């Protein structure tokens, strides 16, 4: 290992090492269709965390695990009393998810630290790499709970008591995998937060750009709807007078899909999860649970849209004699990032010769919560065919490398600012 003698502007990460690290990590929870399944606090999540910590130890980082299981690795600065630069993302995945969502931001940050280490480059400020717990919110709703508690937006006990579909508590599962740390989950002053991620949409590819610099993240509103009907034998029970919870839910779900066309402004609305009970072909369903996800850059528009939906749900519920209960599970406001850091992402992309685009993030990220407590920016790279949260999720290795080079220089500049 020799010291980097050239101009620091010419420093680049090792793309081949990044690819190998990503490929090693993607063996954990690998699915038949070529994706990964590492649900939060599962055995696969534990295995990924163990490997991550092994790699952090090789860099002699100071490792800290907090009470939410967030993992931090600190590289000392020349001025260790200066506030640190933080970078990272998440290692958990969706069910049958992709190999890049989240993990690229953690392995990319690791590649930055490895590059600094092998070139013996010290920075003024400390640099901290982070893996946030349960970003996906698929097993335990809501999403982004590690950064949510850390930033002071979510309550620890509330998160500990969230349960998965089989009734297992978050805290019990966190303990079971050995990642309920000692350290309080609480923000400390930080100088800048960068999160590197795949775009998860089609825009960069369509525009022929390599780097995306989101101006921020849309708002995310989650609701859980419980519809009550009356179960009965399907044969002898006449069609008239039935209270079929699934039919009521079906009508409601179509209203969710039609919602964006009824409002003035950009908004997306989705039902992604549905549970039907007792789920037998010869029993009229008496209970249905489904989820609603509404996102927009305009928080007010998302709230107004929900009001429209609520009225429509109520009318369907009355017409079919199927009472409903609504839980407002989660709300995160839209998150406009730090202008100076976003500009830094664009400037570095230009300097390194990567075509870039100023855009909006439609996906949620830990950066939403981090933005509430620290100057924050993200770096996006293209998703092939705009596919994500699926096993075929993919990004060209050269684009992955480009994104880490931008991350490297953003971090170097922030970490050397006094």
Q: By CB under 6 A, name the binding residues for ligand GLV.
A: 136, 143, 363-364
Q: How far is the CB of 81 from ligand GLV (least distance, A)?
A: 35
Tell me whether the omega of the peptide bond preceding residue 142 falls within 30 degrees of 0, making it cis.
yes
Q: How far is the CB of 227 from ligand GLV (least distance, A)?
A: 23
Q: How far is the CB of 243 from ligand GLV (least distance, A)?
A: 33
Q: How far is the CB of 144 from ligand GLV (least distance, A)?
A: 8
The entry of ligand GLV, Mn ion, none that residue 285 binds, CB within 5 to 8 Å by partner kind? none
Which residues sit at the interface with Mn ion, rule CB under 5 A?
Answer: 101-102
3-state secondary structure of 328: strand
Q: How far is the CB of 135 from Mn ion (least distance, A)?
A: 5
Angle subtended by helix axes 43-58 and 15-25, to nearest 10: 150
The entry of Mn ion, ligand GLV, none that residue 143 binds, CB within 5 to 8 Å by partner kind? ligand GLV
Report the residue number, 97 or 285, with the smaller CB distance to ligand GLV.
Answer: 97
**Any idea what DSSP says for residue 2?**
-
The entry of ligand GLV, Mn ion, none that residue 411 binds, CB within 5 to 8 Å by partner kind? none
Report the residue number, 177 or 363, with the smaller CB distance to ligand GLV.
Answer: 363
Determine the Cα–Cα distance for residues 57 and 63; give it in Å rounded to an integer.
8
357: enclosing H helix or E strand: strand 356-361
| Cα 268-270-274 angle, rounded to 5 deg | 175
Determine the Cα–Cα distance for residues 253 and 314; give it in Å rounded to an integer.
13
The entry of Mn ion, ligand GLV, none that residue 229 binds, CB within 5 to 8 Å by partner kind? none
Q: How far is the CB of 281 from Mn ion (least distance, A)?
A: 34
Phi, psi of 398 (to 5 degrees): -65, -30
Report the residue number, 21 or 361, with the smaller CB distance to Mn ion.
Answer: 361
Report the residue number, 34 or 272, with the smaller CB distance to ligand GLV.
Answer: 272
Q: How far is the CB of 233 from ligand GLV (least distance, A)?
A: 40
The entry of Mn ion, ligand GLV, none that residue 364 binds, CB within 5 to 8 Å by partner kind? ligand GLV
Contact status, residue 52 vs residue 131, Cβ threshold 8 Å:
yes
Q: How far is the CB of 146 from Mn ion (least distance, A)?
A: 12
If one counts every other C-beta atom within 10 angstroms of the C-beta of residue 285, the result is 23
Report the residue number, 141 or 248, with the smaller CB distance to ligand GLV.
Answer: 141
Report the residue number, 284 or 377, with the smaller CB distance to Mn ion.
Answer: 377
Contact status, residue 156 vs residue 146, Cβ threshold 8 Å:
no
Report the residue number, 93 or 123, with the smaller CB distance to Mn ion.
Answer: 93
Q: How far is the CB of 248 from ligand GLV (least distance, A)?
A: 26
Report the residue number, 97 or 403, with the smaller CB distance to ligand GLV.
Answer: 97
Pairing of the two strands 356-361 and 211-217? parallel
345 forms bridges with which residues in the sheet? none
Report the residue number, 204 or 247, with the smaller CB distance to ligand GLV.
Answer: 204
Range 306-345 burial, b when 16+ CB lie within 10 A, else e: beebeebbeebbeebebebeeeebbbbbbbebbeebbebb
Paired tokens of 364: 């949620």
220 forms bridges with which residues in the sheet? 295, 332
The entry of ligand GLV, Mn ion, none that residue 88 binds, CB within 5 to 8 Å by partner kind? none
**Is residue 234 classed exposed, middle or buried when 0-12, 13-18 and 19+ CB atoms within 10 A define those classes?**
middle
């Amino acid at each position: 290992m020799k010291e980097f003698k050239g101009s620091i502007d010419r420093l680049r990460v090792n793309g081949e090492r990044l690819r190998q690290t990503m490929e090693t990590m993607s063996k954990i929870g690998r699915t038949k269709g070529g994706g990964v399944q590492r649900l939060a606090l599962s055995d696969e999540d534990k295995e990924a965390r163990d490997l991550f910590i092994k790699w952090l130890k090789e860099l002699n980082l100071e490792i800290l695990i907090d009470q939410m299981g967030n993992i931090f690795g600190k590289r000392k600065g020349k001025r260790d009393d200066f506030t640190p630069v933080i970078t990272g993302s998440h290692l958990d995945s969706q069910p049958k998810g992709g190999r890049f969502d989240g993990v690229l931001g953690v392995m990319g940050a690791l590649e930055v630290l490895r590059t600094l280490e092998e070139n013996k480059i010290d920075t003024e400020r400390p640099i901290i790499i982070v893996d946030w717990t349960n970003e996906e919110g698929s097993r335990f709703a809501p999403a982004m709970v590690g950064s949510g508690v850390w930033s002071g937006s979510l309550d620890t006990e509330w998160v500990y008591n969230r349960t998965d579909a089989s009734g297992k508590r978050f805290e019990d599962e966190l303990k079971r995998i050995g990642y309920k740390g000692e350290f309080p989950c609480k923000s400390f002053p930080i100088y800048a937060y960068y999160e590197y991620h795949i775009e998860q949409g089609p825009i960069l590819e369509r525009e022929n750009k390599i780097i995306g610099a989101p101006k921020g993240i849309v708002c995310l509103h989650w609701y859980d709807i419980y519809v009550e009907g009356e179960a009965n034998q399907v044969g002898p029970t006449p069609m008239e007078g039935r209270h079929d919870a699934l039919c009521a839910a079906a009508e409601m779900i179509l209203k969710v899909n039609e919602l964006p066309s009824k409002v003035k402004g950009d908004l997306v609305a989705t039902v992604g999860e549905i549970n039907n009970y007792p789920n037998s072909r010869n029993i009229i369903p008496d209970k249905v649970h489904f989820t609603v996800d509404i996102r927009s850059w305009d928080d007010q528009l998302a709230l107004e849209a929900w009001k429209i939906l609520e009225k429509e749900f109520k009318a369907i519920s009355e017409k079919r004699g199927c009472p409903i209960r609504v839980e407002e599970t989660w709300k995160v406001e839209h998150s406009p990032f730090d202008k100076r850091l976003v500009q830094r992402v664009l400037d570095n992309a230009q300097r390194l010769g990567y075509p870039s685009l100023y855009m909006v993030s439609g996906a949620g990220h830990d950066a939403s919560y981090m933005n509430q407590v620290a100057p924050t920016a993200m770096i996006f790279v293209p998703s092939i065919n705009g596919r994500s949260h699926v096993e075929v999720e993919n990004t060209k290795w050269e684009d992955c490398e480009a994104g880490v080079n931008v991350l490297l220089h953003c971090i170097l500049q922030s970490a050397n600012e006094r």
